[in-house]
Structure 1
Amino acid sequence: MATLAQYYTIILKKIMRSCTKLAILAPLLFVTVCSKPPQKKNVLFILIDDFGYNDMSFRNSSFYETPNIDQLAKESTVFNEGYANSRVCSPSRASIMTGKFTARHGITDWIGAPTGKEWRKKGRFSKLLPPKYIKNLPIENITLAEALKQSGYSTFFAGKWHLGEEGSWPEDHGFDINIAGFGAGSPPGGYFSPFNNPKLKDNIEGENLSMRLAEETAKFIKKNKEKPFFAFLSFYAVHGPIQTTQNKWQKYREKAKENGIRNSGYAMGHFLPIRQVQDNPIYGGLVENMDDAVGHILSSLEEMGLDKNTLVVFTSDNGGVASGDNYSTSNLPLRGGKGYQFEGGIKEPYFIKAPWIKNTIKETNIPVTGADLYPTILDLVDAKLMPEQHIDGLSLKSVIQGDSLEERSLIWHYPHYGNQGGEPSSIIRKGKWKMIHYYEDKRNELYNLEQDQAEKNDISLENKALTKSMLNELFNYLDNVGAKYPVKDSSYDQNLEQNYLNKIATEKLRHLEIERLKILEPNFKPNNDWWGSQITKD
């Protein structure tokens, strides 16, 4: 016959196997058995490409419809002063992966952009030649994915990578699984299958790329839901070539008509025209297609019972494309867009949802960047921080809990011209002050962003001491990290450049206005048959 002690041991083992929480009272014995051991938190990182600060209906856009993103914003801490670390994609993505500002990790332009004398082939007749930059994510970095792997996470990547050629793909930087991520910066086959992507198999002809990436991410999560996972969903959307279904084009054409179609939609910038109105029905449909896919992955989390235990990060890699590329959107009242040194080029949607933290604040105006996401994610899931790696980033956990953050300087370095019309320059922001240093003529601009988000009033001359102090701090940082700078082009001809700019301000501007109205005509058809697919979820 079993002794009393043996009897209680048998009962305890049965209770532990059944994972039932009970209190057992016996002579001289009181034991509490918990249902399950503490679970590690999961991470879902959603990165949108070229998605502007005002490309969401929750930001009071009267044109775009983003109900799923809007709902995520309601459930998150919204960082109103959230920034990408660059005005173009590859540098920003490298900063997310490394926790470093761009001048430090060395990827300062989109990978593939020409440098030095090769820049002359662009036919821009510029004063400067842009410097060389690193073209593969440096292997010596411990990426965010590698840091989470060291903490026991299964890691997954889907979508746009653009951080180097083969040998520097997601699987080379800590991701167990890579779907669709390789060297390209835009979807090579567009947004409908066949995708022409070496890392993504085609299923059904006409399948929508954004939804496919969300579905692949959901499949990974379902297979790995019993252990902690890090899923990085990096949409190619809403990068060009912009495409959508015929139904969504029709929907947004009607919205543009209801809002009132303007005769003019552009204004001339320094090098290129800049879009001034949100009325592109193709882009509107592409945004909604992407929002549908965001809704799919978020609802999948909920259906699997993982929404309460999964950290969700949502952001973009640079501003909306208002100039160059597809001239897709307007970022007004923010100035400029992708490729520009102004707020429209670097200010981003930036949400963090940590459902297990009680009483999180709904929004904050503390300036933050993509480099902060590395330490923030580690901190929120109780993983070990790596301050020697994410050296320019700070954990925002305390901010989410309602505390302040010590004022610091944020640095951007873009010594290139790019495709969208921005000027080679570096930026420092400290508190409400933003200073821009231009490399063509060494001038500086100073803005008070609390009073002038549109950056209309340069107050550097009225604040010479502050401007000089911020300039010194900027270059102390840049020089200390070995930043590279542009050099004068000995072949520069002012007359050639002026002729080029005159042509842009007349012929190019006129062509853009014609094309803008053309896609709003009732009989518009795209040059190819990409909208012939009706299998996407309208």
Structure 2
Amino acid sequence: MKQRSHLWLLVFAGLVLVACNQENPTNTSETPPNIVFILADDFGWKDASYNGSEYYDTPNIDRIAKKGFKFTNGYATCQVCSPSRASIMTGKFPARHGITDYIGAWSDTTWRGAGRFTALLPAKYDQALNSADTTLAEVLQTAGYRTFFAGKWHLGSKGSWPEDHGFDINKGGWEKGSPIGGYFSPWTNPNLDNQKDGENLSIRLADETVAFMSSHHPDTTGKPFFAFLSFYAVHSPIQTTEEKWAKYRAKAERQGIAPSAYKMGHFLPIRQVQDNPIYAGLVETMDEAVGKVLTGLDELGLAENTIVVFTSDNGGVAAGDAFSTSNLPLRGGKGYQYEGGIREPYLIKVPWMKAESTEITTPATGTDFYPTLLELAGLSALPHQHQDGISLVPALKGQELPERPLIWHYPHYGNQGGEPSSIIRRGDWKLIQYYESDKQELFNLSTDLEEQHNLVMKHPEIAERLHKELFDYLNSVGALFPRKDPLYDAQNEQAYLQSIENELLPRLEEERLQILSPDFDGGNWWGSQVVED
């Protein structure tokens, strides 16, 4: 157990149930609201059909969007997973909480082992969630909530698992960031047993969540619950069933299979079209799992007093990993400093809150969930903890929020081709500071969502003002930065990049067409061909 000196914790346990309804009078339920937080992994802004994808089918995610609030400028706090997840839990930007890369990534001199031959050595970073932080789960747990976690954690090894940070029950959360053994049982996970060969991991996690909600029904326990369903999907390895592959292969054919799908980025090829039928099947299965949870809430009679959140931890994988999707018109994807790497589906469904328009253009980010959910639950804000988040409840009520800076700090090279950089967005303006070249890019997102027109030379005064605000913040929180590699050899890097363009790019194009061929053989379809008992 953590040693805490916060006196407010002593007050919460006895007063929260009464305070909730007093502070949130629009919720007419006699009990505080339940919270279901659904976090997808590597699910891009354009991967949901409600947001314009014509290839992927996501009717259940769309259901949340239809009944909830859609933040069209919703962001993760980092372009890779662990930092974003830590921000949701702590209400702090990565530069402040110290986890600035995915846990397990090489940094400093160990980075040379990646064979990338880059000019900089990435900054060091924290390898676990700081126990001095009071997580969102701990606050709710202390306030009388039963807390449950299912799926991907990736915020530290044993001793820093979900149960060490405020979750009563942990089903499948450990240090790994991908599903070891794949999406079909048998998998390797010390916190999620194998029950039946061929069982799908996303469906299993949804079933565990519904079972928790049933066994901890507020009518029985007298307590609300906080269920955090953190899918491993749609992270690589991308896997699906033969039936879903066939469905989406045929769909790609109907829509017209482009002769090529990639273009070279700075370090890697970047996918330009959504037509991978294996990835599409993985997306659909995750959506089916979301549907199981929503149906469970309905059948248990809990939907009208349960807040549902859906978001992702970073952009869709357009380069690196499995090169699975395209985020166009957003530039880049997972690992990138552009909008495709950080802008996400960002949905909040509050059953007792209705609005004429459920689309909210106010920029919001992962740190905002913490204070928002506290306010919706009728709990006091903890500004000393969620220092980089604000409550979005006024925006849900149709009110204006004050303009504020959003800040990203990624002093690393992404596996997907992103560059060491820091970002600030204020209003419509976005400034990117690169550490390798020391260049800056300035975009007006209201007129250039695709980030094609660098306006630094046209508006140097805006760039200078944002640069100062960005580094005032980074320096105030003790942010770490990359450093020059004294062993850097430009010729070695150029040879590496040439091999990517000459060898990897054509291989990716060939593999794509193979997967889309009617004769494609997926082997045993990753163990998904199972005879039911």
TM beyond 0.5: yes
C-alpha displacement of 1:529: 4.1
Partner of 2:471: 475
Partner of 2:260: 264
CA separation in 2, counterparts of 1:147 and 1:478? Answer: 27
C-alpha spacing 1:207/1:372, structure 2 compared with 1 (3 Å): same
2:90–2:136 CA contact under 8 A, matched in 1: yes
Question: What aligned pairs does 1:66-465 form with structure 2 within 5 A after superposition?
Answer: 66-226=58-218, 227-359=223-355, 361-465=357-461
1:245–1:534 CA contact under 8 A, matched in 2: no
C-alpha spacing 1:95/1:51, structure 2 compared with 1 (3 Å): same
CA separation in 1, counterparts of 2:280 and 2:157? Answer: 31
1:243–1:531 CA contact under 8 A, matched in 2: no
Query: When the two structures are superposed, what TM-score results if normalisation uses the length of structure 2?
Result: 0.93
CA separation in 2, counterparts of 1:515 and 1:53? Answer: 25
C-alpha displacement of 1:360: 6.7
Q: Secondary structure at the match of 2:384?
A: coil
Counterpart residue identity of residue 292, structure 1: E
* Identical aligned residues as a percent: 59
Counterpart residue identity of residue 296, structure 1: K
2:234–2:286 CA contact under 8 A, matched in 1: yes
CA separation in 2, counterparts of 1:105 and 1:372? Answer: 15
2:242–2:522 CA contact under 8 A, matched in 1: no
**Count of aligned residue pairs for this structure pair:** 501
CA separation in 2, counterparts of 1:523 and 1:59? Answer: 32
Q: Which structure would you say has the larger Rg?
A: 1
CA separation in 2, counterparts of 1:259 and 1:446? Answer: 36
Question: What aligned pairs does 1:500-515 form with structure 2 within 5 A after superposition?
Answer: 500-515=496-511
Counterpart residue identity of residue 45, structure 2: Y
CA separation in 2, counterparts of 1:505 and 1:514? Answer: 14
CA separation in 1, counterparts of 2:37 and 2:320? Answer: 28
CA separation in 2, counterparts of 1:531 and 1:285? Answer: 15
Partner of 2:22: none
Counterpart residue identity of residue 452, structure 1: D
CA separation in 2, counterparts of 1:215 and 1:528? Answer: 25
Q: Secondary structure at the match of 1:510?
A: helix
Counterpart residue identity of residue 210, structure 1: S
CA deviations on 1:468-495 (whole Å, 9 max, x unpaired) are: 1100110000000000000000011111
Instruction: Report whether the alignment pairs 1:498 with 2:494.
Output: yes
CA separation in 2, counterparts of 1:530 and 1:249? Answer: 12
2:412–2:420 CA contact under 8 A, matched in 1: yes
CA deviations on 1:156-181 (whole Å, 9 max, x unpaired) are: 00000000000000000000000000
1:47–1:317 CA contact under 8 A, matched in 2: yes
2:184–2:528 CA contact under 8 A, matched in 1: no
CA deviations on 1:249-268 (whole Å, 9 max, x unpaired) are: 00000001011111111000
Moved more, 77-86 or 60-69: 60-69
CA separation in 2, counterparts of 1:450 and 1:331? Answer: 18
2:315–2:343 CA contact under 8 A, matched in 1: yes
C-alpha displacement of 1:231: 0.1
2:74–2:363 CA contact under 8 A, matched in 1: yes
2:71–2:360 CA contact under 8 A, matched in 1: yes
CA separation in 1, counterparts of 2:52 and 2:141? Answer: 39
2:309–2:347 CA contact under 8 A, matched in 1: yes
The answer for unaligned runs of 5 or more in structure 2 is 1-27
2:240–2:525 CA contact under 8 A, matched in 1: no
C-alpha displacement of 1:359: 3.3
CA deviations on 1:305-351 (whole Å, 9 max, x unpaired) are: 10000000100000000000000000000000000000000000000
CA separation in 2, counterparts of 1:246 and 1:37? Answer: 45
Q: Secondary structure at the match of 1:461?
A: coil
2:422–2:432 CA contact under 8 A, matched in 1: yes
Q: Secondary structure at the match of 1:462?
A: coil
C-alpha displacement of 1:60: 1.9
C-alpha displacement of 1:523: 2.0
CA separation in 2, counterparts of 1:289 and 1:528? Answer: 18
C-alpha displacement of 1:522: 1.4
CA separation in 2, counterparts of 1:424 and 1:389? Answer: 27
Q: Secondary structure at the match of 1:251?
A: helix
C-alpha spacing 1:42/1:360, structure 2 compared with 1 (3 Å): farther
1:207–1:533 CA contact under 8 A, matched in 2: no
CA deviations on 1:256-292 (whole Å, 9 max, x unpaired) are: 1011111111000000000000000000000000000
C-alpha displacement of 1:535: 7.3
1:80–1:350 CA contact under 8 A, matched in 2: yes
Q: Secondary structure at the match of 2:308?
A: strand
C-alpha displacement of 1:525: 2.0
CA separation in 2, counterparts of 1:358 and 1:457? Answer: 38
CA separation in 2, counterparts of 1:359 and 1:39? Answer: 23
Counterpart residue identity of residue 109, structure 2: K
CA separation in 1, counterparts of 2:484 and 2:345? Answer: 36
CA separation in 2, counterparts of 1:519 and 1:357? Answer: 45
CA separation in 1, counterparts of 2:115 and 2:78? Answer: 24
C-alpha spacing 1:487/1:528, structure 2 compared with 1 (3 Å): farther
Query: When the two structures are superposed, what TM-score results if normalisation uses the length of structure 1?
Result: 0.92
CA separation in 2, counterparts of 1:473 and 1:287? Answer: 39
One of 36, 39, 57 as aligned partner of 1:44: 36
Counterpart residue identity of residue 500, structure 2: I
CA separation in 1, counterparts of 2:186 and 2:374? Answer: 37
CA deviations on 1:403-462 (whole Å, 9 max, x unpaired) are: 010000000000000200011000000000000000001110000000000000000111
